[in-house]
Structure 1
Amino acid sequence: MWLQVAVCLSCLLLGGQGQERAAFYRSNDRNSRCQYTFTVASPAESSCPTAVGGAEMDSLKSRLTLLESLVSRLVGGDAGAVGAVPDAGLQEAYTQAMGENSQLQRDKERLDRQVQELQRRVEEQRQETERLLARPCQAPSAALQDQRPASGSNILSHLVSGNRGQSETVGARDPAWQHGSPGYQELKAEVTEVPAPKQIQESSQENTGCGELVSIGEPVSHRRAEGIAGKYGVWMQDPEAVAPYGTQMLWRINTVGTEVRELFGYEDMDQLSLGFPTKVLLLPEPVESTGATMYRGSLYYQRRRSRTLLRYDLATESIASRRDLPHAGFHGQFPYSWGGYTDIDLAVDEQGLWAIYSTNKAKGAIVASQLDPNSLEVKKSWETNIRKNTVANAFMICGRLYTVASYSSPNTTVNYMFDTATGESKSVAVPLRNRYRYNSMVDYNRVQRKLFAWDNFHMVSYDVRLGKPEAN
């Protein structure tokens, strides 16, 4: 019994001495949880038996524990905080780049507007030059006519001497402004009194009525359409205009786009050239391609993606009638050679309203049908031997169908003619110029005796001359 008591007292004494040398540690484990460790020095052993690592191993474990803690933070929710700084820098760089892109876009739009303005000015200057060149000389006064020398040789010598005197005093000038020179006026008077040849007089008389196409004049540009929507289009004039629009009214449709509905009206040719429409109508159904035409107060056009023909009344601004063109190809089945979904082309001439198209039965050959202008019903049809996709365009004059050989060649021809009166066709070769190298619309204007065309953004016209049919 006393031995047991002595042993307990010894343990208590040794425990007290060990507590004086106790140590406390706190660190994170692998799962980042806090771990507490108590260390008590041995009362009997001055050192532990030799073990691998010792204090260095403990230090290494502590470092590994710290590293694992950092990795856990990066993999876990703290990764967002670590990467916040780089993300903020990237966001700032992206915002700056977008701002610079917007500025570049605004600069591009400004430069595009400047280019269009310069093009408009160049076109106006060119038109003004053409008007000046086409302006006739003023007629000589009666007093100057009375002072004419008797012989042509005296006129020429007087003109040369008069011009030499002016050049010595005031220098070279535009002859159009030298109307003060008596010699110049005398020479003009002598020329104006020369009678026109008989052949020219006869041709002028022939040109007053219907006949075959004899010649086409040089293209005259009236306006350039702005924007990509104006590359292709149609412009027209009603040959039998009715109220509320006058006979000088001109109409235009830009046909680039999936939903073409805008119809622009201009009071006359001058307003068209300046680009000031007096009327803008929104059509209730979209237009297909460049085959529209005007007749008796209505716009006639093909509805998009269909063979349906529509008559849009300008006075009531509504669809007055509609009808499918029987068996007609549409939306790329039988277009002209330039494409553009030009399967159905409407035209007006001295004999009324026409449709130029093709069918599966005709196997791609041009069919010309005369239409009733009120109901759009086909009155009579003619099937030609002209392949529609081999010609660039077609138009009607005096009941005769004419085709254009090329839409892009600068010097092309009207190459075929089909006469609905005889049902016969023949090859012709009437020169025609594509000044701007992409002619997407050609129609005959019987009021002005001109061809209207849309050539690569440009609205142009050509004078035409008709003559008597050639004898077979």
Structure 2
Amino acid sequence: CPTLAGCGELVWVGEPATFRKADTIAGKYGVWMRDPEPIAPYTHDSTWRIDTVGSDIRHVFEYDDLDQFMKGYPSKVYVLPASIESTGALMYRGALYFQKRRSRTLLKYDVKTETISAQKDLPHAGFQGQFPYSWGGYTDIDLAVDERGLWVTYSTNKARGAIVISKLNPETLEVEQTWETKIRKQSVANSFMICGTLYTVNSYVSQNAAINYAYNTTSSSGKPVNIAFENRYKYNSMIDYNPAEKKLFAWDNFNMVMYDVKLAKINRNENL
């Protein structure tokens, strides 16, 4: 990890900055995001939003920049060919990656051509409320992206509910490598990846929550940590890291918020 530009261990998360509040009940929880490695005609300013309350979630709202996002003026609305499950979706290299509803199937949707360009079942992954985060919401499968690429966190019967991390090939969605942690998925509110390390948040409702665990895939080991994390609106249903901006994006009780982070250089002699 220290060989990757700007990489390090998470040591601090700032207060949330609020950019938008959803205007209907469908926006109580959802996903908002930017592509850390955009492909033309999209840019680092392009912003996407998905409201995920409902039984058939297919609409993806695209905004040219943060200003249009804050004003609520989408430049385009996509209708997906398959319904999304929960808040685990993300944008990466010009594609929307998401879990198909009521399945362990991962889909890659090319936003330029508006077609599914890859589809793969995630082997043995629990779904439809088998191993969700503590807030529920069918959050069994959660995609993430960081400086190292595309990841997915989930659990299996074999892992007995412990978080499993897999590195994915972004072109084919094939699993390249897998790690099993020692923290139960249902005991944490959410998770995200930074520089190949998984971080978990202990509560989705407490304003004074904490990032309580870190699992380093380089050393294949985990440790407890204690980094303050604020759920300002007391119902945080989505947290994702954007490696291009070095910020956390989150959806907290109708509110779309962003956090600054600080990374410290990893001590090569320290075992995570």
Spell out, residue by residue over 1:166-210, the C-alpha distance to the aligned partner (whole angstroms, 9 max, x if none): xxxxxxxxxxxxxxxxxxxxxxxxxxxxxxxxxxxxxxxxxx710
> 2:217: which partner in 1?
420
- Structure 1 distance, partners of 2:12, 2:44, is 26
Deviation digits for residues 129-151 of structure 1 (CA, Å, limit 9, x no counterpart): xxxxxxxxxxxxxxxxxxxxxxx
CA distance, structure 2, for counterparts of residue 227 and residue 330 of structure 1: 27
Alignment of 1:40-189 (within 5 A): none
Corresponding pairs, count: 265
2:109 to 296, 309, 312: 312
Instruction: Determine helix, strand or coil for the equivalent of 1:389.
Output: helix
Larger strand fraction of residues: 2
Q: Which runs of 4+ in 1 moved over 3 A?
A: none
**Runs of at least 5 residues in structure 2 that lack an aligned partner in the other structure:** none
Instruction: In structure 1, give the amino acid aligned to 2:103.
Output: S
Normalised to the residue count of structure 2, the TM-score between the two structures is 0.96
TM-score between the two structures when normalised by the length of structure 1: 0.56
Note the 1:263-412 alignment, pairs <5 A: 263-412=60-209
Question: 1:239-292: per-residue Cα shift (whole Å, max 9, x none)?
Answer: 111122222101010000000000001111111111111111000000000000
Structure 2 counterpart of 1:386, one-letter code? I
Q: Give the SS at the match of 1:272.
A: helix
**Hey, which of these two has a bigger chunk of helix by percent?**
1
Please tell me the residue identity of whatever aligns with 2:189. Answer: A
Q: CA deviation at 1:469?
A: 2.2
2:230 matched residue in structure 1: 433
The partner residue of 1:444 within 235, 238, 241 is 241
Q: 1:226 and 1:363 mapped to 2: Cα distance?
A: 39
Q: CA RMSD in A?
A: 0.8
**Alignment match, 1:244:** 41
Unaligned runs of 5+ in 1: 1-207
> Which structure has the larger Rg?
1
| 1:259 maps to 2:56 | yes
Q: Measure, in 2, the Cα distance between the counterparts of 1:392 and 1:246.
A: 31
Q: Which residue of 1 aligns with 2:10?
A: 213
Distance 1:278 1:446 in 2: 25
- Whole-angstrom distance in 2 between the partners of 1:423 and 1:321: 29
2-side partners of 1:327 and 1:244: how far apart? 37
For 1:329, give the aligned amino acid. Answer: G
CA positional deviation for 1:448: 1.1
Give the Cα–Cα distance (whole angstroms) in 1 for the partners of residues 260 and 40 of structure 2: 28
- 1:387 is displaced (CA, Å) by 0.4
Larger RCO (alpha carbons 8 Å, 6+ apart): 2
